[in-house]
Amino acid sequence: MTQDEIIEMAREADWPDSLVAPIIMAKLSDFAKLVAAKEQDRCCAIVFAQCESDNVAQRTVDAIRSKA
């Protein structure tokens, strides 16, 4: 997720412009990356739990992680 995407989401969530300052966005960007990584891990765990073949699961997980 890019900082521009995070800023856009902050504005969509009606954050005031005073909170969309560069230093705040830098920290928010770090936080958003941690949240995204945790969500990605959960998605990958679901894939492994649902796929009958570990090979299919691994290819799917690799595809998910390559998009991060």
Question: For position 68, what pLDDT does the model report?
Answer: 54
Structural domain containing residue 23: 3-66
Per residue in 26-61, pLDDT (tens digit) is 888 888 889 989 999 999 888 888 888 888 888 888
3 pLDDT band, cuts 50/70/90, is confident
Which DSSP string corresponds to 49-64?
A: HH-S-HHHHHHHHHHH
The yes-or-no verdict on residue 1 having pLDDT over 80 is no
Question: For position 34, what pLDDT does the model report?
Answer: 92
| Cα-Cα-Cα-Cα dihedral sign, residues 39, 14, 4, 29 | negative
Total number of domains constituting the chain? 1
The yes-or-no verdict on residue 67 having pLDDT over 80 is no
Spatial neighbors of 7 by CB under 8 A, at least 6 apart, are 20, 25
